[in-house]
Amino acid sequence: MIRSILYATDLGLYAPYVLQHALALTRAFNAGLYVVHAVEPMGLFAESVLQTYLDEEQLKELRSKGLSTVMASIEQRVLEGFRDELGESRHELELIRAVQVVQGDPPLVILEEAHKRGVDMLVVGSHSYGAGMDIPLGRTAARLVQLSEVPVYLVPMLQHRARGEC
């Protein structure tokens, strides 16, 4: 029985297409929908640039207060994007129980959120926009299929069809 679904979004070009699949499954199963977006941690280069211009106290404040502000801002933008995408079907927003933006390695963040929320299914795109045509599955999708304890619904990206490939 599918009572709750976790939709993991990269907020990329095909995210609205994957969202439509997540909403359709949510309606079909009369389930609740959770949304998660993973933000990759800051790289070493960005960290060293910040260390050059900020003292230790400023860095500490940026890491604690700044990061939570940025995450809350991204969550708000995700919801606004959903409102824009859904247009007249805004009532479907009521199917979404929560939107969570979390910093960390995407597959691990998604699996942790799925476990924490006790969801019965994951919905993800097969790979991000811009991934090479020769790669059938992106890193995150592949890891989720390998490690998930619940079914993973993979939405194929349309760029293959747009070029006449199968």
* Alpha-carbon separation of residue 125 from 7, 50, 72, 100, 122 (angstroms): 9, 33, 24, 18, 10
How large a percentage of the chain has pLDDT more than 90?
40
Q: Fold for 4-162, please state it.
A: Rossmann fold (3.40.50)
For 134, half-sphere exposure in the C-beta direction (CA atoms, 13 angstrom radius) is: 0
In the numeric block, which tokens belong to residue 66? 């700044």
At residue 146, φ and ψ (nearest 5 deg) are -70, -40
Sign of CA dihedral 40, 41, 44, 50: positive
Q: Where are the domains of the chain?
A: 4-162
| pLDDT tens-place string over residues 116-160 | 999 999 999 997 655 555 667 889 999 999 999 999 999 998 655
- Each residue's pLDDT tens digit, 59-96: 777 777 766 777 777 788 888 878 777 777 767 778 88
Cβ atoms of 58 and 31 within 8 Å: the answer is no
Check residues 33 and 136 and name the one with the higher pLDDT: 33
Angle (deg, nearest 10), helices 139-147 and 106-117: 40
In this structure, are strands 152-155 and 121-125 parallel, antiparallel, or unpaired? parallel
pTM of this prediction exceeds 0.85: no
What integer is the mean pLDDT of 26-33?
A: 95
